[in-house]
Structure 1
Amino acid sequence: LEMNEVAHILKYATGNSLVILDEIGRGTSTFDGMSIARAVIEYVKERIKAKTLFATHYHELTGMADEYEGIKNYTVAVKERGNEVIFLRRIIPGGADKSYGIHVAQLAGLPRKLIQRSQQILAELESCQTNKV
């Protein structure tokens, strides 16, 4: 369904359109999703030339603001106090430098053991990424 909606937007949007896309590629693997998301951004930017709001969790796409004139990054302002994260409900210029997914899961009420295990897995994954570089 998601790709059908994207195809519809790409077919009918014009330079006078306002295109709003949320989490393109979320229903597939990370690299597939990121590739599709980037290609959609490029297509809209280069061919359709519509004003576009594109929400994504792919931090890797924030570099497109350096590559393309007219692409800008915005993020939700947060305040951190120790282990506490407060979402300030303001949109500010810049890309997200950090993910708060586990914190959001905690706010949603997921079990404490699951949150702790998530933090452990995240630390292991981040360690693997650091060791690959």
Structure 2
Amino acid sequence: MAERTLRGARLGGQSFEDERGIEFAARQQVGFRCAQGHEFEVTMSVEADVPAVWECPRCGAEAMNVSGILPEVKAEKPARTHWDMLLERRSEKELEDILKERLELLRGGEIGPAHLHRANQKKRKASA
């Protein structure tokens, strides 16, 4: 019988505690406006760092703070290419020497795809 008495009480979904004697934290309303003209307010703690940008709940665009707080401008680093990273490790003179050495090995048949070597070997045998 005791098991049936709690049926339908929505346990976990509803608190049975009352709010008497509870002191809420100080709050503030912060206004935002997006490029589409949507205006909305977000409730925040007085102690919170108020952001300059918030996502608009209607259109999802960035909404700016109406109180004039501007977003921080971050310095963007230029994209590092493979060439930039290579030049951090070697000079152009070293790279030219390595290229020359590797091309000689490739043309001599010591490195590279096997199908190229087979063709070179056939040519050598035919000329010999």
TM over 0.5: no
Instruction: Please say which structure displays the higher CA radius of gyration.
Output: 2
Which structure features the higher share of helix residues? 1
Greater relative contact order structure (CA < 8 Å, 6+ sep): 1
TM-score by length of 1: 0.20
TM-score by length of 2: 0.20
